[in-house]
Structure formats: C-alpha cells, structure tokens
Amino acid sequence: MLISRPNRWFSIALSVSAILACATTTARSETATLKGKFVLDGKAPAPEKIVPDRDKEVCGKHVLLRESLVVGSDGGIQNVLIWALKLKAPAGEKLPPAVLNNKDCHFIPHVLTMQAGQTLELKNSDSVGHNTEGHPKNNPEFNVTIPANGMVPIKNITKPETRAFEVKCGIHPWMKGYVLVTDGPYAAVSAADGTFEIKGLPTDAQIEFQVWQERGGFVKDVTVDGKKTTWGFGRFKMKLKPGDNDLGVIKAKIGGN
C-alpha cells in the first residue's frame, strides 16, 4: 500500500512565506511618535480680559480672555500648531467629524486640526445664536448662522491648507479661532502645559514639519533641548526612529518676546 508523504519543499516554502509575511507586518507596524514641549523664550504677557458688549446676560457670565498667546505658570505655550507636510492619510480611513464648538461665548478648541475630506461640524452649545465665518484659501469660504444649541456641517473642505485659517463670529466680534486642514492625521496642538505628541509617523523617510503660533506666525527662532537654531518658515526635517522621538524643551521666541 502506498502512503503519500508531505511535500518537503512545499512545507519549507510555506514556512518561508509565513516568516516573510510576519516580518512585513512587523515592519509596517513600526511607527514613530514625535513629542516635545514648547516654552516661551521671554516674558509672558499679562492675560487680557474681554468685556462682552453683546448678549451680556449670557456671555457676561464667563471669564473671557484674549487667546493669541496663552502661557502657563511654567512658561509652557498653549495652542502651538505642529504638523507634517505632504504626508497623506492611510487609504480607506473613515474619519469622524471635526467639531468646532461655540461654547461659553468663545471657540472650543481655539485651534483645531482636521484632515482634507473630513466634515467640519460647527456646533453651538450656548443659549444664544452664533455666526461662524471662515476664509480658507484652498477651500470654499463659509459664513453660517448657528441657532442656540444647534449644529451646521461643512462638507466641502477637500484640500489641505498651507497654514491655519481664521474663524470668527460676526455677532460676537471678540470670538476668534483657527482651523488647520492637513493631508493626513499627523498634526498636533500643544496642550495647556506646552506639550504635544504626534503618533503613527512613518520611519522610512525624512519628514518635514512646520510650526505655527497665532501671535508670532511661523515659529523660527528656537532653542531645541539647549541648542539654538533657526527654522526657516517654521520648518525642520527629521528621520524618525521607531517609538518615541522626544525633542525635549523647545524654547521659542513669539511675537517679539
């Protein structure tokens, strides 16, 4: 009686293919994270209070401050934008809406990042009506009225912008914010303590980043982890290693400080 034996070479080929597939999957899963902390190089300005002159019965209940340069007690700069240039999102990624809220008579967040093709939801959490007006360069402008506790979606933001564009409320002129539209999800806004983190970055090529802040524009004069340098137009390049890539403390001169 004949007994068939497994094909030895076929088994070896399968094993090699499995190893290669595993190696490829592992390589693809190795991504980088860029992080750091923006700190003001200079004296922080005193917070400037806003006195509402419209809908005082609602807006007057809140402490409203100018947000063009927000600095924490340890010098950390809030709302600094940092993003990767020309780095597209993974194909087929389904994006939830990006939400810009009119709340307590100011925009939350003050600086918002979103991707090209993502819906921008203009929300109103206040008991009074708001108007949100935006003037991007590469996408259609918008100017909509949002009723109290309402929402208006903007669905035609399909192209990345070279810089953040301003949004404002025509009813309450002190209300101002910014929206940055990028190619992919590789962008961050610094937190209240100045820290930021961008996850999921590739490790196989040099990446160019750009940095912007409302009062100072593109961040150029910096001291990165103790070393003074100049970022032309707020740009710098890095090739990242898998895992964390920490720039450390980034001392930045902002708006003459």
Predicted confidence pLDDT, tens digits, the chain (257 residues) = 444 444 544 343 434 344 334 433 334 458 999 999 999 999 999 999 999 999 999 999 999 999 999 999 999 999 999 999 999 888 778 899 999 999 999 999 999 999 999 999 999 999 999 999 999 999 999 999 999 999 999 999 999 999 999 999 999 999 999 999 999 999 999 999 999 999 999 998 899 999 999 999 999 999 998 999 999 999 999 999 999 999 999 999 997 66
pLDDT value, residue 93: 80
Beta-ladder partners of 227: 224
Instruction: Give me the pLDDT at residue 26, please.
Output: 39
Residue 241 CA to residue 244 CA, distance in Å, equals 7
CB 212 within 8 A of CB 178: no
Which pLDDT value is given to residue 29? 56
- Cis-peptide into 109, omega within 30 deg: yes
Rounded distance between C-alpha atoms, residue 157 and residue 114, angstroms:
9
CATH code, 32-252: 2.60.40.420
Q: Looking at residue 123, what DSSP letter applies?
A: E
Let me know how many helices (H) and strands (E) the chain has, helices first: 2, 21
Residue 2 three-state SS: coil
Distances (CA, A) of 105 to 83, 100, 110, 125, 127: 28, 12, 12, 9, 10
Sheet order of strands, 120-124 included: 106-108, 98-103, 120-124, 151-154
Q: In this predicted structure, what is the pLDDT of residue 78?
A: 98
The span from the CA of 246 to the CA of 121, in Å, is 33
Say if residues 131 and 111 touch (Cβ distance below 8 Å). Answer: no
Taking only Cα atoms into account, the Rg of the chain, rounded to an integer number of angstroms, comes to: 24
Reading the block at residue 154, the tokens are 């903007």
Quick one: which H or E segment has residue 18?
A: helix 8-29
The pTM (predicted TM-score) of the whole model is 0.87
> What pLDDT does 6 receive?
46
The count of other CB atoms within 10 Å of the CB of residue 91 is 5
At position 92, the amino acid (one-letter code) is: G
For the chain, how long is the longest CA-to-CA vector?
Answer: 99
Please give the pLDDT value at position 25. 37
- Residue type (1 letter), 225: D
